Structure 1
């Protein structure tokens, strides 16, 4: 396969040689005609023999002069073509070398920026791609490390308990078996959460959507966790009286709200409160989960949705740290989002689930049933 440089050089030479050939042909024809005409006008003054001799001399010298001119023009054209082809190909070669290094996994590098706007745009896009690949690689490595860490604790507990039972260090008892079963369930939940998160990231979550009332979903989620709030001494208030129609996968939205409420409970001390408020405005339905807990710093707000990020220790700090990540991913799969805000440490935090509004789930039902 011919290189781009050789093709550019050949094209420049072809254009230059064609131009030189045309100039030689036209120059020779015009020069011969014009010289002959001029000598014809001078025949009377010079005499016929002298004029003819001059014309013959011009005609004999002219081809040689044009040939040497053509050779000189071709040489200059070749030099310029080589220079221009190198100038054009050099930045492309630099970009190609950078792309090869990126393909080998060397993402941390600066791609040379050519002076040409089009090539500079290509270089900028390639550098941005390299940065994104670097971040993805860092996330992948961190994810593997953190998953291994998450698995290590329950596996250690299971192994220790089973070895103790085998060595008869402890007697077989329902408590020992329950401890093993609890750690196995923890591993199972971790696997399920990671699977959900992976599918959400790849936009492969299967959503079984239907018209629903977001207020009813919020009330059900709060009712499900109410015993845990009572046990922790945290007051749970729900403002979800008016129906808010949405088209969603009810189970997935329930999962989002359980994660948001569980996170609020984890970081709210006894005597505090968590408020759930459902509303709608400008085509978006919202569920606000506001707590009076530990609050978030600016750095925590930037990282709170990262995988396995736990932030400040709170009640149940042994959680897996991917609940909020899953909540945001599932919300975005519905065309919505989950956002966080906080006045600062010690001032509580607010997490807002936003979803596009939909048709009223009660519309079209039998009036007798609505009654």
Structure 2
């Protein structure tokens, strides 16, 4: 439908301009032809009189007869030639043909059939073309006004919270419509992101309050019990809860720095075997107390571009998660390999693996799966650190049993 309107308007403008041009051309051609004919007739009469002065009367009579016939074919009054002009033929031998006839009262249209009325079709064509042009222009303006009104209504609907629909059209407003649609889409996305951020903030605040409430309650109870019954056990309980609050505070501050982009992560060549060995050494005491062994399979020299300290922090969190879900006498293993696309690091245990309900939510902040005694930040923190270094992290259950974490550090 829009294509038809565009074609109709284009055809209307072309026809109007063509009609105007043709009418003006016809009028100009008529004027030129009339002048040329008038000049040639004057030249002929002048030459005849120069050669035969005695033919003056015959020439004057012929001119008067021709002019009278042309006048009779026209409607409306015409200018009569000067009767006394007949005596001037002999005195006008030096004039041009045009001046020769004009000196005796004749005009250009006196000897041209259709005379001045020959301009009437041209004027009619000009007026018709002008009218067609104005009609087409007015139709174009009405269409522009309708397009502006539709865009205005769309924006008003958006401002009131609605979701209007823009019908794509190919016209002068197509570029503006595209930009408006892009802007509105970006605003919708920004609003949705702001709503998600608000909801996440509220949820995180609730989770933080819940995480703090448990140790504070335990601390209050231990202090109360310590007042009534002083005991080293109560002091140990207080110390444990304070340590838990400290870890929670450090983890939250670290997450906030990562999300704000203020945590500096160096990009240096790090040997993977060294990375896993250092992470295991830091957890050696925990593995000893849990009676669980740690095995790191060496696969030669493989390097990744990462920050050693923070990547080691992420790996330690994965090792601790495997440690917490592995029974005494079990084992936590690490292996790595490299291909042209990425370097893969695997950390798995000999425990019972993840439950089906826990797998989709393992890396959610403050989510604690079955049997977890942590604060629910370690895995989400590991994911943030790995992703900030052009990597991905995932979790799955092994076919032979046990949980497995996989890290892919991409080369490009």
TM-score, length of structure 1 as denominator length = 0.69
* SS of residue paired to 1:350: strand
Distance in 1 of aligned mates of 2:240 and 2:146: 68
Matches within 5 A, 1:335-346: 335-343=390-398
Which residue in 1 is equivalent to 2:365? 307
Change (3 A) 1:57 1:209: closer
Match in the other structure for 2:407: 353
Q: CA deviation at 1:48?
A: 1.3
Looking at structure 1, the residues matched to 374 and 278 of structure 2 have their Cα atoms a distance apart, in angstroms, of 23
Inter-partner Cα distance in structure 1 for 2:66 and 2:280: 120
Alpha-carbon offset, residue 189 of structure 1: 1.9
Residue 171 of structure 1, CA deviation? 4.1
Matches within 5 A, 1:1-371: 26=21, 28-33=23-28, 47-50=69-72, 53=75, 54-57=114-117, 59=119, 66-67=126-127, 70=130, 73-87=133-147, 90-91=150-151, 94=154, 97-98=157-158, 100=159, 112=165, 114-116=167-169, 119=178, 122=182, 128-162=189-223, 164=224, 170-208=228-266, 210-240=268-298, 242-282=300-340, 284-296=342-354, 300-311=358-369, 313-314=370-371, 317-343=372-398, 347-355=401-409
Give the whole-Å Cα distance in 2 for the aligned partners of 1:111 and 1:232.
62
Number of aligned positions between the proteins: 328
Q: 2-side partners of 1:286 and 1:253: how far apart?
A: 14
Q: What are the superposed Cα offsets for residues 63-110 of structure 1, whole Å, 9 maximum, x if unpaired?
A: 577557635642442233232443366357536753x46xxxx7xx75
**Distance in 2 between the 1:217 and 1:245 partners?**
10
CA distance in 2, matches of 1:145, 1:49: 106
Q: TM-score, normalization: structure 2?
A: 0.63
Shift of 1:230: 4.1
Q: 1:333 to 1:21 in 2, by over 3 A?
A: same
What SS is found at the alignment partner of 1:307? coil
Larger of the two Rg values belongs to structure: 2
For 1:92 and 1:339, how far apart are their aligned partners in 2?
Answer: 48
- Structure-2 separation of matches of 1:114 and 1:297: 50
Post-superposition Cα deviations, 1:134-191, rounded to whole Å, max 9, x if no partner, equal 44443333222222222222233334445x27xx853455544443343333223222
Q: Distance in 1 between matches of 2:292 and 2:336?
A: 20
Per-residue Cα deviation, 1:320-365 (whole angstroms, up to 9, x for no partner): 2121121122123333332223358x932211233367xxxxxxxx
CA 1:30/1:283 → structure 2, altered by over 3 Å: closer, same or farther? closer
Query: What displacement does 1:259 show?
Result: 0.2
Give the distance between the partners of 1:111 and 1:295, measured in 2 at CA: 50
What SS class does the counterpart of residue 318 from structure 1 fall into? Answer: coil
Q: CA deviation at 1:216?
A: 2.4
Question: SS of the residue aligned with 2:408?
Answer: strand
Q: How much is the aligned-residue C-alpha RMSD, in angstroms?
A: 4.4
Q: Which runs of 5+ in 2 are unaligned?
A: 1-9, 38-64, 76-113
Distance 1:36 1:250, change over 3 A: closer
Greater mean deviation of Cα atoms: 85-94 or 258-267: 85-94
CA distance, structure 2, for counterparts of residue 288 and residue 296 of structure 1: 16
C-alpha distance in structure 1 between counterparts of 2:341 and 2:131, whole Å: 76
| Aligned-pair CA distance for 1:288 | 1.1
- Matching residue of 1:3: none
* Secondary structure of the corresponding residue to residue 278 of structure 1: strand
Q: Per the alignment, do residues 161 and 237 of structure 1 end up closer, same or farther by CA in structure 2, a change over 3 Å counting?
A: same
- Whether the 8 Å CA contact 2:17–2:129 is kept in 1: the answer is no
Alpha-carbon contact 1:216-1:243 (below 8 Å) kept: no
Larger displacement relative to structure 2 (330-339 or 29-38): 29-38
Using the alignment, how far apart are the partners of 1:298 and 1:19 within structure 2? 72
